A and B are shown apart, each in its own frame.
Chain A
Amino acid sequence: MTALEKAAAGERLTSDEALALYTEAPTQVLGRLADAARARRHPDRVVTYIIDRNVNYTNVCVARCNFCAFYRQVGSADGYVLGFDEIFSKIDETIGVGGGQILLQGGHNPDLPITWYEDLFGAVKARYPDFKLHALSPPEVMHISRMAQLPVPTVIKRLIAAGLDSIPGGGAEILVDRVRKLLHCDGKATADEWLGVMREAHRAGLRTTATMMYGTVETLDERLEHMFRLRDLQDQTGGFTAFIAWSFQPDHTELGLEHGITLEATGVDYLRTLAVARLVLDNFDNLQSSWVTQGGKVGQLSLLFGANDMGSVMIEENVVRAAGAAYCMDELEIVRNIEDAGFIARRRNMHYDVLGDPIFRERDVPRMLSLARARADGDTSVPAELVNYAARSRAGKDARNQRPELTIEE
């Protein structure tokens, strides 16, 4: 049987077969194969989406990945930490447009100890008992673990006790250490460490997503190795709900500015990669469209290349915007794109349980024509509650010394 015949029959592909399809199959043929695989899993033609908000609680980060335009170094004037009240306001706005979850991720800030996360999660759950926290990608969990000098399972257990509901699959980039070294992200988590955190999360009963950021220094073989490592873990745990691929956004990044990778991977490359992912990841139910990096048009076309989910309305986005992508789709626009492509639009939660029809068909929801930011320009306020948490970095200690109300006894 050829790779094409196996894919058409829905049989499991080897890495050689996947590579043959990736490199040789015409784009439309890959689309047809992936669309059939999507239809086998989702014969009802339902395409889902979630109303949630990307909240980036801090942009201060010691990891310094060279593909990232979002982070600021410790002590930077542009560095911020959101206050609990700011996060509550964002949750209120999210609930106002029908959302029930935030995707909470941030930099590896040495001045936020595990108790800050526990207190935040506890405070959110106290105010919004039913609201979900999809929070802290594996490298953030690793960072907290290192800072607290606690093993990852203990960190996960404590965060769950505080209110963590699920873990987003960020920080995976390409799960091959050769690539991670070149991207300067092996320090935040090696491939094994990323997968290890996910394994522990699944063991602890959490569901998680998985991502892939491609289009930097990796080969097609390495993209496939990434997919196969995810497939293997999914075989063991079944804990991944979805896979999301997006392309590296080069603007304002060290990789773009100093290493000359200034061109983003193309739209056709995205559709081919998505289609191959649908064929390889035969144990993943859901593949998201990355309209936030591809734009609404290619984002919509991804529904013909294996995606069955339009991802999130997002409301706010700070990370890929910093690197040049500035697309926005509110619920009405996402639903219009789903239905225009011949699918049925349904709202979902992180577990991909269908919650119902579009909210805007049930009640008036204001149009959202641009994504919000973490903070308004020029807002350098420092949250009052930081006084409760010891700073570890020299810059953090100095800042708190200049503001005695932010200094505590260690």
Chain B
Amino acid sequence: MTERHEDTKTHGVVLGSMMTGSASIEPLLERLLGGETLSASEQAALFESRDLLSLGMAADQLRRRRHGAQVTFVRVADVALESAAAGEVTWEGSPGEIRITGTPGDLAQAIAAVSAVVAAAGDVPVTAFSLGDIELVAGDVTAAGAWLKALKQAGLSAVAEAPVDGLRSPDALIEAAAAVGLPIARLTVDRAAQADRPALVARVAALVQAHPAIDVFAPLPRTTGGLTPSTGYEDVHMVALARLLVPVHHIQVDWQRYGPKLAQVALTFGADDVDGVSPRDQVTEGRRRSPLEEIRRNILAASGEPAERKALFSRRS
């Protein structure tokens, strides 16, 4: 299966005659692939299009231009903030990133947690927190800047995420993080109702253009579930449009949050990086043998070449 020729472009002549109802977006996709920027109304037309396969083929082409066949992934160990702040720092397996989860009550707790995890992590990078939570708890951008500086000094490698729809002052916060040399591991989306998605993606595109150091966008909402979870169509549509419309290097999907099947399919619709793979070396009970074996197999079956990384995209040997 790995010999598959995934360059869909070469099949366009034959497939062009099969287009049904998608004629309206083909010229837009060609212009996008030619490097043009679409107007807001043209972007809206892509969001309204039901031709997911055409969107996916174009997104896949863009992904391959940037990354070839390579698909990166990172094994992440989550450590709860409260435990870490209390000095209880444990994880299983061999992570490439240790991520402190939870919202700190104050800066002292945040520093205690980061210091404890960094001390235990060795050369594994430690990321923590949401930039939105830091803004909220610190109170304003200036105070948030002081937090970021202190966290950097405590050894934090990066802020784990910046939810685009959860920041009151995104530009100022991103600049504050850059000023103290603290990277932001990824832009994320907390919630994204269908109707809000065009504006949200436009906002992400603008942020990425204004702050080129940010090179990862995870477009699928972090808050999911309830009685009406997002559908596969919505998820893959969002991934493809993120690749097509956001000039960011990496489009990321979360292995655990979205599940292996959807995450793998997203790799054929524009995503190039998989976050949140379990760090455990062996699963002795439950569904599968080894997360590492499973992720590699899934990437290969999607015609990718798996490359394990650490946080912030340093390669793992």
Contacts and interface: CB of A to CB of B under 8 A. Distances in A.
Interface of A: 2, 4-5, 8, 23-29, 31-33, 35-36, 39, 251, 262-264, 266-271, 294-301, 304, 324, 336-337, 340-342, 367, 369
Q: Which secondary structure dominates where chain A touches chain B?
A: helix
Contacts of B231: 296-297, 300, 336-337, 340-341
Q: Quick one: which of A26, A262, A295 has the most chain B CB within 10 A?
A: A26
A29 B50 contact: no
A298 B232 contact: yes
Interface string B255-297: 0001111101101100000000000000000111100011001
Contacts of A262: 288-289
Give the interface size bracket for B toward A: 35 or more
A28 B53 contact: yes
Given A2-B14, A296-B229, A340-B231, 12 more contacts: A25-B4, A28-B60, A33-B15, A35-B53, A263-B293, A263-B297, A266-B261, A298-B232, A301-B232, A304-B233, A336-B228, A336-B231
Interface in B32-60: 50, 52-53, 56-57, 60
A4 B236 contact: no
Q: Quick one: which of A298, A299, A301, A304 has the most chain B CB within 10 A?
A: A301
B50 A342 contact: yes
B265 A301 contact: yes
A298 B287 CA distance: 18
Interface in B228-243: 228-229, 231-236
A4 B10 CA distance: 11
B301 A266 contact: yes
Contacts of B287: 251, 324
A266 B234 CA distance: 20
Contact of A268 (B5, B53, B232, B264): B264
Nearest to B263: A267
B261 A27 contact: no
Contacts of B7: 26
A297 B261 contact: yes
Q: Quick one: which of A29, A270, A367 has the most chain B CB within 10 A?
A: A29
A352 to B, nearest CB: 22
Given A27-B268, A27-B302, A301-B236, A36 B8 contact: no
A297 B262 contact: yes
A301 B233 contact: yes
Given A24-B5, A297-B231, A336-B231, A8 B14 contact: yes
Nearest to A247: B261
Nearest to B228: A336
B4 A23 contact: yes
Interface string B87-114: 0000000000000000000000000000
User: Which 7 A-B pairs rank lowest in CB-CB distance, beginning with the nearest?
Assistant: A297-B232, A267-B261, A342-B50, A262-B289, A266-B301, A28-B57, A300-B232
A2 B236 CA distance: 30
